[in-house]
Structure 1
Amino acid sequence: MIPVQGVEGRTIAVLGLGRSGLATARALVAGGASVVVWDDGQEGRDRATAEGYDLRDLTRANGPSAGWTGIDMLVVSPGIPHLYPAPHPVIARAMALGLPVDNDIGLFFRSLATRDWEMLDNPPRVIAVTGSNGKSTTTALIHHILEVAGRPVQMAGNIGRGVLDIDPPGEGGVVVLELSSYQTDLARALTPDIAVFTNLSPDHLDRHGGMGGYFAAKRRLFAEGGPDRAVIGVDEPEGVFLANQTGQGPLDDRVIRISSGQKLDGFGWSVFARKGHLAEWRKGRQMASVDLRGVAGLPGAHNHQNACAAWAATRSLGLSPKLIEGALHSFAGLPHRSQMLRDRAGVRFINDSKATNTDSAAKALQAFPRIRWIAGGLGKEGGIAALAPHLGSVSKAYLIGHSARDFAVQMGTIPHEICETMERAVTRAAEEAEAGEVVLLAPAAASFDQYANFEKRGEDFARLVAALP
């Protein structure tokens, strides 16, 4: 646990009592704060009551004399809106009273360093990863590479444990964080040693008031704390802008530009992948080259970009190209992200349930040459129209969930079948697939019409695939 600093003797309210909320409450108590808590859901309130926290319904507290008396600060879980499309009533009230509003990420960055670090020869480092797609894989890959290198490393944030729930890092320790736009948008402190921006595509736009607000939330990771090293994907205009704003010129090697598809050899430091080969360039010289085509855990150009980001981050810590290359080959990948489940008579079954938007689905569709595509769920604005240029490798689509018929209208001349359920889609795709083809679950839609989350959807797909004769 990371005890929160600077809260001794203060009363802090915590809103939202999921994994990160309860970890935050514990860390505040460990730092000497008095804590009151609230969650709109009964399940969260029951968990807090079981741990003995002071449960206070701040939604009914309409003034300082009605529940807010003595509260010095509000800490908010990331899933709760604080500005768009409208702030949660508790957050709105806290702001109206002038109380600071923060989240666990902000508390983490202000509390991680201690006086004990002055005695360390190699103080701990923090690598923070953000972006639209590839955050989880990049974070897990960096963590894996450091484990292979024998470095003491912990993974937290939007993946793994809550940031305040990890152990205080010691000599040479590294903390690798995945940070969503929800987390970077509100944190009052953001001071990573190495910051990584993978890419940007439209997502969570209602939460950020549009694309500009979404990018601004990501950009805060670089603008607020000024990381020692910035690893920035430049395959979109926003990344090019961010690299320009962060660096002092093209040869400034504090900025490492990364790309999947572009050659970047005119900069102080760059890592890029083209046609399945990763190259690292520094000050006009190629420093390393790796063939990624045989790395089973990182299929496709989108995963090659993730490899470039992880390569750049771990090279910034001084790891050797040879060590990193070996670690890439031993990386198994993450569940629900281009996860190879089974090879059945020459037909591979790939679980990419995490592909909940068209951008991530497009990347999955470009990773394989012959695809039986399972898609659908709770579709987002625009449906799958944006995927039209990427459907050339699809032999047939098997459509499920709430948006199955809407997606069917947008399929054009691509053969398709409305299956509605995952069970029917897996059965039909398995019956029709031929050796050399891939049955790919890349839904391009949210899961909430049929499943609690994308993990449950992917688990159901995996169960059905495992049960095939």
Structure 2
Amino acid sequence: MIPVQGHEGQTIAVLGLGRSGLSTARALRAGGAQPVVWDDGQRGREAAEAEGFALRDLARPGALDGVALLVTSPGIPHLYPAPHPAIAAAYAAGVPVDNDIGLFFRSYATEDWGLFSAAPRVVAITGSNGKSTTSALLHHILTEAGRPAQLAGNIGRGVLDLDPASDGEVVVLELSSYQTELARALTPDVAVFTNLSPDHLDRHGGPGGYYAAKRRLFAEGGPDRAVIGVDEVEGRSLANQLSVGPADDRVIRVSSGTKLAGEGWNVFAKKGHLAEYRKGRQVASADLRGVAGLPGAHNHQNACAAWAAARALGLGPRQIEAALHSYPGLPHRSQRIAEEGGVAYVNDSKATNVDSAAKALAAFDRIRWICGGLEKEGGLEALAPHLGRVAKAYVIGREAEHFALQLTGVEVEVCTTMERAVDRAMAEAQPGETVLLAPAAASFDQYDSFERRGEDFMAEVRLRLG
């Protein structure tokens, strides 16, 4: 646990008592603060009460009297589409609002660091797609290279559940836009921006607000090094804003599919080959085609971002390349679960938006595609260039018929349930094809998480394969 510093003896309110909320309350208490907590759900309140925390309905008049800080969980809106009533009350009362990420960055460093031979460092990774894989991959690279490392944030443990820092340790944080948009302190040593595509637009008031939430990690934090994916205009703009000139190697530009020229520090992958350039000259390379845990161009972009961050931390190219080949991949992200009769089965349930599903489709040649769910804003037009790879689509979800109508130019079967979709796809799959779950939609119409959806897919496949 990371005890929260700077609030000894103060009353601190905690709103939302899921994983991060309860962790925050414990860390506040460990640091000498007096937390009062609330969750709109009874289960969260009961869990907190069982640990001895004082409950207080933070939206009631006067509930924030004497409160020095309100700490809110990431999923609770603080601006769009409308602030939670407790947060609106904090604004009116002048009570500062923060989240666990802000508390972490203010509390991680301690006096003990003066005894370390090498200061601990923090790498924070954000973006629309690929941030989980990039975070887990970087953690794997560091561990394989013998560097002490911890993984937390939007993946793994909550940030305040981390162990106190050790000598030379690296903390790798995956941060969502929900986490970066509100944290009052953001001071990573290395910050990574993978890419940007439309997502969570209702929460951020549109694409500009979504980009602004991601950009805060760099604008507020002032990292020593910034790794920026430049395959979209937002990344190119961000890299330009952070750099003082073409040769500024504090910015490492990353791309998948484009050779990056110039005098700066560039890492890119093209046709399965990764190349690192500095000052206009190639200094390292790696063949990604045989890396089983990172299939497809989108994962090659993740490999480039993790490579760049690892190099910024001082690791050597051969150390990184060896670790790439031993990376097992993350569950529900291009996860190869079986192969039988020449047919491969891949679980990419994390492909919850159109952009990530398009990248999943681009990774395979002939696909039996299981898709559908709770549609997000923007429609499915961005999938059109990749539908030529699809032998047939099997659509699930409560709105399967509406989803299917948007898939023009490809054979479609409305299945509604995962059971029927897997049954039909496996019955029709031919050698050389891939049965791919890449929904291009959220899971909440049928499942409580993308993980449960992926687990259902895997269970149905394994049931039939025996």
- TM-score bucket of the superposed structures, by smaller chain: over 0.9
Q: Which amino acid aligns with 1:389?
A: P
Question: How far 1:115 sits from its partner (Å)?
Answer: 1.5
Does residue 259 of structure 2 align to residue 263 of structure 1? yes
Question: How far 1:382 sits from its partner (Å)?
Answer: 3.7
| 1:451-466 correspondence runs (5 A) | 451-466=447-462
Residue aligning to 2:53? 53
Of the candidates 306, 310, 313, which is equivalent to residue 306 of structure 2?
310
Question: How far 1:250 sits from its partner (Å)?
Answer: 1.0
Residue aligning to 1:85? 81
Number of aligned residues? 465
Deviations, residues 441-463 of structure 1 (Å, cap 9, x unaligned): 00011111110010000000011
> CA separation in 2, counterparts of 1:241 and 1:436?
41
Q: Which amino acid aligns with 1:124?
A: P
> CA separation in 2, counterparts of 1:392 and 1:2?
50
Residue aligning to 1:94? 90
Of the candidates 139, 146, 149, which is equivalent to residue 150 of structure 1?
146
| 1:64-463 correspondence runs (5 A) | 64=62, 67-463=63-459
Q: Which amino acid aligns with 1:56?
A: R
- Report if aligned partners of 1:140, 1:155 keep a CA contact under 8 Å in 2: yes
Q: Which amino acid aligns with 1:262?
A: T
Question: How far 1:413 sits from its partner (Å)?
Answer: 2.5
Question: How far 1:383 sits from its partner (Å)?
Answer: 3.3
> CA separation in 2, counterparts of 1:101 and 1:398?
45
Question: How far 1:385 sits from its partner (Å)?
Answer: 2.5
3-state SS of the aligned residue for 1:68?
A: coil
- Report if aligned partners of 1:156, 1:175 keep a CA contact under 8 Å in 2: yes
- Report if aligned partners of 1:379, 1:402 keep a CA contact under 8 Å in 2: no
- Report if aligned partners of 2:148, 2:169 keep a CA contact under 8 Å in 1: yes
Residue aligning to 1:9? 9
3-state SS of the aligned residue for 1:413?
A: coil
Does residue 39 of structure 2 align to residue 43 of structure 1? no
Q: Which amino acid aligns with 1:374?
A: I
- Report if aligned partners of 2:251, 2:265 keep a CA contact under 8 Å in 1: yes
> CA separation in 1, counterparts of 2:172 and 2:301?
18
Q: Which amino acid aligns with 1:267?
A: E
Alpha-carbon distance change, 460 to 320 in structure 1, aligned in 2, over 3 angstroms: same
Residue aligning to 1:25? 25
> CA separation in 1, counterparts of 2:326 and 2:263?
30
TM-score normalised according to structure 2 size: 0.99
- Report if aligned partners of 1:129, 1:139 keep a CA contact under 8 Å in 2: yes
3-state SS of the aligned residue for 1:350?
A: strand
Q: Which amino acid aligns with 2:73?
A: S
Question: How far 1:379 sits from its partner (Å)?
Answer: 1.3
> CA separation in 1, counterparts of 2:9 and 2:146?
40
Q: Which amino acid aligns with 2:341?
A: A
- Report if aligned partners of 1:128, 1:195 keep a CA contact under 8 Å in 2: yes
Question: How far 1:83 sits from its partner (Å)?
Answer: 0.2
3-state SS of the aligned residue for 1:22?
A: helix
3-state SS of the aligned residue for 1:52?
A: coil
Question: How far 1:403 sits from its partner (Å)?
Answer: 2.5
> CA separation in 1, counterparts of 2:107 and 2:248?
30
3-state SS of the aligned residue for 2:464?
A: coil
Question: How far 1:103 sits from its partner (Å)?
Answer: 0.2
Specify every segment of 5 or more residues in structure 1 that has no aligned partner in the other structure, as ranges: none
